[in-house]
Amino acid sequence: MQKSQAVAMLGQRGLMMPVWVNAALAANDRLKLYLSVLQAAVAHADHPERDALDLGRELAALGLGAATWLHDLPAGASRVRGSAHHDGAHDHGHDHAHGKDGRGDILLIPELDRLVAALNDDLAIMARPVLESSTTDAEPHLRVHQWQEWLDALHGEQLDRQQLHSLTHGHRHEDHSDDSLHLLIMDLHKAINRLAAELASEVIAGAHVWQLADDDRPLVEAFMRGLHRTAPLKFDHPGLDTAATRDGERLLLQNDIGTNDAHVLVINVQGLEVTLTYSDLHRTRFAFFQALLNPLGASWSDMSSRVAPDLNEGQAYTVGNARFECEDRIRLARTLEGIGAAIVFLIDWNRARKRLVNFVDKEGAIAVLTAAADNEVGHMAWLKAGGERLIFSAMQAVGSGTFRIGDRLDEVLGETQARTFLLDVMRLSTQALMNGQPIALVADETRMLLARQVQRRTTEFDLLDEHAAYCQTLAQAVSDALDHGHDGLREVADDVAARAKAWERRADHIVMQARDEATRLPRWQPVARLLTISDDVADALEEAAFMLSLIADHHQKGWTQEVRQALSRLAQTVLQATQDHIRALAIARHLGEQGEPGSSEDSDAFLAATWAVLRAERQCDDLLRQARRAILHALEDAPSLMLANDLALTLELASDRLLSASYALREVVFNKAATVA
């Protein structure tokens, strides 16, 4: 700063403004890091059993690596009870944060005087270009002077809660009655960005730049190329103004993102390394941005412990640093382009997320927004076109019986289908608004899109297919076990019975899920009835597996090859019937949908599959009689005879229940076709 002071003394103050602005931007970075150190001290004092946050990387990045006192400050902080020593520091609108007895929790920081001095010095550096460009009676002068006096009066090693609040909070009252050093820093930063734009000696692809080296220009162009690729997705929302300058050995790029005071993005490029500093009031949006940049090779510092809900009235901002190490300048330019393209998706992100949770869970909302960013569709067009009102209107227009008041979209369509639908709505909203089409057209297309989704919904068939798969697996296990010989059955029977029990329980859960849906949505009632009937198949087959375990336990006396083959043929026929039922379900899933080719052939195939189940049931009647003859002819041991006969009866019962399920499926399909017609 000595050189800048000398030039200023010569009366060339205008020449010094770019230098002051650069210095102010660097001071802004340091000031925010000082406040982060202070928040880390609070976190350690409140939880001394935890390791203090290590900010070594951040300190080194700002040239403060040698300031060991600053690095060690959080670990030395503690809480004490006692009277705070204000030493004249006023509280900006509040008395103090003590209890009724005038005593409260005090933060003890042994290096507080050095921290306050650093804050005061860098505040003066940061404020200088703003103060030099305004009259002495303007608000910045009064406000900066007030805070400099406040810091000058702050001595000792203790901070009470109100002093801490005055330093760190970011909650802006409408009447500006509760100012803070943090708010002043954010306001100065905005003013400096405006000055930077005015100072710019040229504009490169829309970025206001000054004092660039020749090698900087392609990098600024790369960043702006990515920014311009996606910037139209913000429509008329303010934000994305970019400034760039060279500060010593580093290229500095700043983007204002939007209108939020704590929403700031600063990029430093030095050599082949990019360091990005990002701050955000919303921790979930911070994590979202991390996920967007990770494919670019971002290595993030762990900033989670910087978030302190007890500070900033629950609005503490999160600050993080990402580092990108590039092997050459081509990769460096691609990284900057990727960062520039990602920024627009942060604008109004939290507003979009809150509206999406009306239709999907929190995880689903973030997944939709991530997919919208990955596809460079964005969410702003959807918000401008009506946001949640678009979806609610479409749900209402679909008609009664599909959605009820309080239904969430993913509960009716299913998680995957609901997310896909919401992404499609964002895509068509973006296309319509980009092409200058009316919002009313977006509403109509949203209704049509949801109507097609509802018409094609197959959530019920997902459950039917899953249940039928368990029945087929049970039948396969019983059939395979009967193919083993005497000793083979003894070896596998217990394992088959145990697995069959687990499969039958899973099938039960599917039935319970369908019944729950049926109590909520009338259209599920036929499906719930079908699954209840189908569950009798699972019960019978699980019982057959259990009987095999009893038979294997010394109850195969007199079993001849003829007996084993008769029971095996019965089991194989039941297995074939379960497979035919699965085939009928696969065809039924899409029967009755409008515009589907080959619907007549599909109908014939569906009826053929259900008739195959009928033939299997009749065949099982004959096979049961044959098995009984073989059993009575060969077995004399009473337990063996009884168990073999019961096994045959149970397998035949499974075929009976399959036939009932097949008839119930036909009813579901015919009703579905009638509804579409």
Residue 149 sits at φ, ψ, to 5 deg, of -65, -40
In angstroms, rounded to a whole number, what is the distance separating the alpha carbons of residues 513 and 541?
Answer: 21
Question: For the whole model, what pTM was predicted?
Answer: 0.53
Q: What three-state secondary structure class fits 210?
A: strand
The type of residue at 184 is L
Give the pairing of strands 318-325 and 273-280. Answer: antiparallel
Can you give the pLDDT at residue 100? 38
Q: Where are the beta strands (DSSP E) in 129-205?
A: 158-160, 202-204
Residue 141 and residue 191: Cα distance in Å, rounded? Answer: 13
Q: Which two tokens stand for residue 83?
A: 């009277």
Backbone conformation region of residue 404, classed left if phi is above 0, alpha if psi is from -120 to 50, else beta = beta
CB distance 603 to 590 below 8 Å: no
Backbone angles phi and psi of 159, in degrees to 5? -130, 130
**pLDDT of the residue at 606:** 87
Determine the Cα–Cα distance for residues 675 and 637; give it in Å rounded to an integer.
58
Report residue 429 as tokens: 């909203």
Phi, psi of 210 (to 5 degrees): -155, 155
Query: Which domains, ranges and CATH numbers included, belong to the chain?
Result: 2-182 (no CATH), 200-345 (no CATH), 350-455 (no CATH), 459-676 (1.20.58.220)
The span from the CA of 336 to the CA of 343, in Å, is 11
Whole-number Cα distances in Å, 111 to 56, 78, 163, 425, 610: 17, 12, 16, 55, 83
State the Cα–Cα distance between residues 371 and 297, nearest whole angstrom. Answer: 19
Q: What confidence score (pLDDT) does residue 595 get? A: 42
Which residue numbers in the chain have pLDDT < 50?
1-15, 84-104, 261, 304-314, 594-598, 676-677
The secondary structure of residue 92, as a DSSP letter, is S
